[in-house]
Structure 1
Amino acid sequence: MEVSPRLLRRKATLFKGVVVALASLAALTVQASPAAADDVCGKQVGGAILVKYIELDRETGPLGCPINIELDNPDGHGKRQEFAGGTIYWSAASGAHPVWGAIGGKWGALGWEGGKLGYPVDDERTNPDGVGKRQQFQGGTVYWHPTLSNGAHPVWGRIGELWAAYGWEGGAFGYPTSDETWDEAYESMTQRFSNDGLALFWSPGDPDDETAWCKQECVGYSGAAGTDWFKETRVETYVGTDHVKVRAIPTRNGFVNARTDFHGAWNQVWSMAPYPKGIDQEEHQSLYEQFACHAAWAEERLPGDWNTGPTWDLESWLPSIGMQKAIDPIEALEHECNWS
C-alpha cells in the first residue's frame, strides 16, 4: 500500500515531538539528580536544601559541615537543616535559602519563620555600598552594616515603602538603626535611621481625637537634630492621597527672628529633614507663603504662648495666594495663615 506524502509528514512530526519530549525528560532527570540525598561530613543532606548547599560550595563554603539532619519546622510545612555556619530554610512558597550572622540573629529574635518576617525568599546580598548586607523575607527585609546600622533591623510596611521611595540605605535616610517602636507622644510607629538621626513613622490616624497629629492614616518622617531657630521638622503624607502636611516647630529664637528673615528660617527648617518628594511648583509656593505668614504673624500673647500655636502647619493642598496677601497683617487677621 502506498503511503501518502501527507501521512508521512504527519508521522515525521509526531516522531520529532516524541524525540523533543524525551530530550526534555532527560534534561529534567539530569537537573533533578543533585536533589538526591548525599552524605556530607557524616550527615545526610538532600532535596532542595542539598541543591542550595551545593550552590554554596558544600562543606568548603560558608556553611561548612551539617551538624544535624533535615528537620520539620513547627508550621508542619517547611524544612530546615543546620550547618556549622548557618541554617538553610525551605518552604514550597519561598524555596531554600541560608540564614546566618547578625541578620539571622535578628530574624530568630523576631520568631524565625513563624514571626512577622516569615521565610527567607532570597539569600543574603551585599548592598550597593559594598559593605552593608540585606536579606529579603516574606514580610520584609533585614538590613545590617558593621558601623552604621547599630545591629540588624527589619524594614517593612508603609515605613519601608517610604524609605524605598527616598533611595533605601543609599538615600536621604541611610540605614535603619532601630526596629519599629510605638511612640506614645505622636501615636505612631517610629523607626530611626543613620543619617542625622532622622526618623520615619506611620500612624493609623484618629479622626475622633482633636489632639491627634494625624486625623487619618499617614506616613512620614521627622528631623529633630535641632537648629537655633527650630526644634523639629515633621513631614506627613496622608495615605491614599498626595496631600502633604509640614510641621515646623520653632524655638523662641525662631518665633522672634523668622519675622524678618523668612528665607533664612525656611532654610533652617529644611536643614533638618529632606524636602518632600512630589511637590510641584505651585504647592511649593503655597507652602512657602504659609510659612512666611506664620513667621510674620507670630505674636507672643503670654510667655511661651504664641498666637500661631506651638507648630507652624503648612498644607500642600492649599492654593497659592501670593506673598503680599499671605503676609499682609490685615489679610492675616482674616485667614490666620490657613486660607482653605
Structure 2
Amino acid sequence: MTLQHRAIALIKGAALTLTATLASLTVQVTPAAANETICGHQVGGAILSKYQEMRGQNSPLGCPTSDELTTPNGRGKYNTFDGGSIYWTAATGAHPIWGAIRDKWGSLGWENGKLGFPVSDELSNPDGQGRRQQFEGGTVYWHPTLSNGAHPVWGKIGELWGQYGWEIGAFGYPMSDEGWDEAYKSIYQKFSSNNLTLFWSAGNGAHGCEGECVGYSGTTGTDWFKETRVEIPVGTSKVVVRGFPTKKGFMDARTDFQGAWNQMWSLAPYPNGVSDTQHRSLYEQFACHAKFADQILPGQWNTGVSFDLESWRSDVGMDYALSPIYVIKHQCNWD
C-alpha cells in the first residue's frame, strides 16, 4: 500500500468525525495573507498562497474569473479561474479542482453533495496515467482510457475495492457511478478489469444476501459459466460463492470438476482471506453440485440456477462429498 493510499484509508476512517466538526463551522474570511488584484479580481489568504504555489497565471488555472466568494453553505471560501477553482475551509485547507474531476464533483452537488470539500490537490496514481482527488466523503478517480470519465468511490464498495488493491488491484478503475440493481436490491458500481461489478446490499432475503453484505460479480462469461458472484456478509469472515453455469456447464462439469472450477474463477477474483480448510470445503461443495446436477425440466436443474457454496461448511473430504449414498442426506449442504 502506498503512503497516498494509506492516507485515503485514514481519511475514510475519520470522515464522520470530520463531517460533524465541519458542520459547526461558519467561515468569515480565509487566513491571513494580503489580497492581490490579479487579472482584475481579488485573490487572498490561503487561496492566494495555493495559487502562487502553483505558479499563478502560469498554472493550469490561469487568470481568476471572480473575487473571493463564500460557499452557499457558509463553511468555506472559493475563487473561480479560467481553468478551474480553488476551495478553502479552515479544516481542509485550500485545494484546486479542475477538469473531469471538477465536472463530476459539480454534477454531484459541489461542496453540498455527498463528497463535501476537497481535502487534497489532484494526485497522480501509481500507474502514472490516472488521477484522483480526495474529498471529505470519498475519492474521485479518472483515467484517460480505462475509467469512462471521472467517478467517485466511497462507503462499503470503496472499502472492499481498497482491500483488493484499489485501481492497481484485481478490479481496476471505476467505470461508473453507483447505481441501483433492482433484481438484487443492491447498490452496484462497475469497474474496468474484466467488466467486474462491486456491490453493497442491506439484505432482502429474496435474492442474494439475507443480511447486509458486500461483494462482487463477473459476467464476462465462458462456455461453462455465465456469472460468478461472491457475497461477503458484513462484519463476518464468511464468504458465499454463487456460480451460474450455462447448459453446457451443467452437463460438462459432471466429469471435469477442476476445469469447471477454473472457468468459474476466470470470471472473478478468488476471495481474500479464505483459509486452506475453507478452500477445500468450497471445492468439495462445488464438485458435489457439479456431479449431481440433474435437469428436471428443460432449463430447470435440481441445483437451481447456480451452484451455491458457503465457506463456513466443514471440510468433509471428497469421498463423503461425492458419495451417491450420502448425497441423499447432505444434498451438497452439510454442516
> Above 0.5 in TM-score?
yes
Q: Report what 1:231 is aligned to.
A: 226
The question of whether the paired residues in 1 share the 8 Å contact of 2:239 and 2:310 is answered with yes
TM-score, normalization by structure 2: 0.90
Structure 1 contact 34–50 (Cα < 8 Å) conserved: no
**What does the per-residue CA deviation read over 1:81-107, in whole Å, with 9 as the maximum and x for residues that have no partner?**
001111001112211101100000000
1:197 corresponds to: 195
2: CA distance, partners of 1:39 / 1:33? 17
Runs of 4+, deviation exceeding 3 Å: none
Q: How many residues align?
A: 306
Question: 323, 334, 337: which one pairs with 2:332?
Answer: 337
Corresponding residue of 2:168: 170
* Deviation digits for residues 129-172 of structure 1 (CA, Å, limit 9, x no counterpart): 11110000000000001111100000011110111111111111
User: Letter of the aligned partner of 2:332 in structure 1?
Assistant: C
Higher relative contact order (CA 8 A, sep 6+): 2
Name the counterpart of 2:263. 268
Q: Report the counterpart of residue 137 of structure 1 in structure 2.
A: 135
Contact 1:34–1:51 (CA under 8 A) maintained in structure 2 = no
**2:251 & 2:292 partners in 1: Cα distance?**
11
Match of 1:324, SS state, is helix
Q: Gaps (5+ residues) in structure 1?
A: 1-31
Distance 1:327 1:36 in 2: 79
Once residues 48 and 244 of structure 1 are traced to their aligned partners in structure 2, the CA distance between those partners, rounded to angstroms, is: 48
User: Could you tell me the percent identity over the aligned residues?
Assistant: 64
**1:300 shift after superposition:** 1.0
Secondary structure of residue in 2 paired with 1:35: coil
SS at 2:94 equivalent? strand
> Counterparts of 1:38-187 in structure 2 under 5 Å?
38-187=36-185
Conserved 8 A contact 2:31-2:46: no
Give the secondary structure class of the aligned counterpart of 1:164. Answer: helix
* Equivalent residues of 2:183, 2:207 under 8 A apart: no
Work out which of the two has the higher radius of gyration on C-alpha atoms and give 1 or 2.
1
Distance 1:65 1:310 in 2: 60
SS in 1 for 2:216: strand
Post-superposition shift, 1:42? 2.2
TM-score normalised to structure 1 length: 0.88
Cα deviation per residue 1:251-288 (whole Å; 9 max; x = unaligned)? 11111110000000000000000000000100000000
Q: What letter corresponds to residue 111 of structure 2 in structure 1?
A: E
Distance 1:62 1:322 in 2: 63
- Asked if the contact 2:293–2:302 (Cα under 8 Å) also holds between the matched residues in 1, the reply is yes
